[in-house]
Amino acid sequence: MDARLDVKSLAAEIAAIIDEGRDDHRMIRRGNEVRIITAEVIPAANKQTTTGRRRRFVAAIEPLLAQCGWCRRAAGSHLIFERRPDGPKDARFAPPATGC
């Protein structure tokens, strides 16, 4: 059995990279959207373990990015976020997320 992965710290790291606009091999940027390549962030292991880790990662990163003015775009199994036009520039002053 694989050890439990700390997805909260991983989500915080990825969210910071996205919000700061830095380049990273784990994501693809196009204009005001970014696609997280989950296979690069959460490598494959046992199917059930990988599925659980990726599900927990998504649950952890969505609210972090929402605070920074990003919202998830429906794109099937792809994890794509786009910056809201009225998104806050500084996460410390972000209003609670209400959706896109």
- Chain segment 57-77, per-residue pLDDT in tens: 999 999 999 999 999 988 777
Q: Where are the domains of the chain?
A: 24-86
pLDDT band for 36, please (50, 70, 90 cuts). very high
pLDDT tens for 74-95 read 877 789 999 987 755 544 444 4
Percent of the chain with pLDDT over 90: 67
Global confidence as pTM: 0.80
Q: Which two tokens stand for residue 18?
A: 């996205």
* Rounded average pLDDT over 39-62: 93
**CA–CA separation, 64 vs 43, rounded Å?**
21
Write down the pLDDT at residue 96.
47
Give tens-digit pLDDT for 19-29. Answer: 999 999 999 99
Q: Rounded to whole angstroms, how far apart are CA atoms 73 and 89?
A: 20
pLDDT at residue 1, as a whole number: 62
